[in-house]
Amino acid sequence: MPATKLLYQSAIEKPFSRILVINTHADDLLIALSEKSEQLDLHQHFKPEHAALKKIGLNAVTGLSGLENAYDCILLLPSKNKQQTLGWIAEGMLRLNDGGAMIIACANGHGAKSYETALKTLAGNVVSRSKSKCRIFSATKTSTLSSDQLTEWLDTAKPKKVLSHNLIAQPGLFSWDHADIGSQLLIDHLPNNFSGTGLDLCCGYGLLSEHLLRTSPNISKLHMLEADRLALDCATQNTSPWQQKIQLHWLDATHDALPQKLNWIVCNPPFHTAQQRDVELGKTIVQRACQSLKRGGLLYLVANRKLAYERLMQAELHQCQTVIEANGFKVIKGTR
């Protein structure tokens, strides 16, 4: 990813000693940066990226709140959500020493120009250059920093109760500000008599889990599995009335061991990796869901109607049927 390499290389070339990287992605240049700097703190809340960092011998925190240090430099890679990214920029500025530098790199097609404009609005000064279809830009923390803008961005990015679904969520999470069409279709066609032990696979902030626990009182245990630590933190709050029934898992559903011999699974499988469409991601998750059921166990999933999960499910399960197709989505039920 050119933006990642541009960002790390820019810091290697400058005399920074205490550095924080927000939304860190693994790269060989990061190892070189760690060897050069006196202190290098890393932040990453997404389990696959967090695991990739550990694989190259580096550790990362999942949240910024516990970092009290003052840094000479903050390096930042934007997420696909602008509100989340602006919140990170504000968090980073709070942790910079006076005179410290914030450096951001972003692909042109992912909003680089708008982030450059936002940083200038906040800090009042920006130095920018373009390379490899990316833009890398920086600002120095000075007395011109806009405290009103800082407060606004921090508040906007925080977890909050969303009126449309009455659950706690935050910018950056999938469909955080409303129940997405697919999940709502699945909710409308789930039975209300689940019992035993089940799994909400890729649970997000807990939209499906909260519904299941509220409508199926005979559930004895619900595993909630999610790769985004921020989503899982929200899901924990949204299912707190049933905390004795739930078990939370911060895992990568494509690689880590899943709970086994389950009575049932519900899932709205993702099919994007970062900014890119990734159909194989959804297929892998669906296949692993099928394999995690006990004999006679049920799988309910929702998918874009153009995604052909049925053939995969037919190969893994005893039965498979489409429950409904509507609004571009389909709910599929399978029995192992």
Asked if 238 and 312 sit in the same domain, the reply is yes
**Co-location of 145 and 21 in the same domain:** yes
153 and 164, same domain (yes or no): no
205 and 295: one domain?
Answer: yes
pLDDT for res 275: 58
Angle in degrees, CA 281, 285, 289, rounded to 5? 170
Single residue among 126, 157, 188 that ends a domain in this structure: 157
Q: Can you give the CATH number for the domain in which 186 is found?
A: 3.40.50.150
- Angle of CA points 180, 222, 63, to nearest 5°: 65
Cα–Cα nearest to 40, from 7, 75, 14: 75
Domain stops at, among 157, 179, 206: 157
199 shares a domain with 185: yes
Domain identity same for 217 and 295: yes
Query: What pLDDT is recorded for position 67?
Result: 87
- For residues 32 and 126, state if they share a domain: yes
**pLDDT tens across 134-184, in order?**
999 999 999 999 999 999 999 999 999 999 999 999 999 999 999 999 999
Confidence (pLDDT) at 228 = 98
> pLDDT for 236-287, tens place per residue?
999 999 999 999 999 999 999 999 999 999 999 997 555 566 789 999 999 9
73 and 174 in a common domain: no
- Are 218 and 292 members of one domain? yes
- What's the whole-model pTM score? 0.95
Determine the structural domain holding residue 164 and report its residue range: 160-335
> Considering the chain, what is the average pLDDT of its residues?
95
In total, how many domains does the chain have? 2
Do 239 and 324 have their domain in common?
A: yes
Q: Are 223 and 198 in contact (CB under 8 A)?
A: yes
Tokens of 4: 């990642």
The SS3 assignment for 133 reads coil
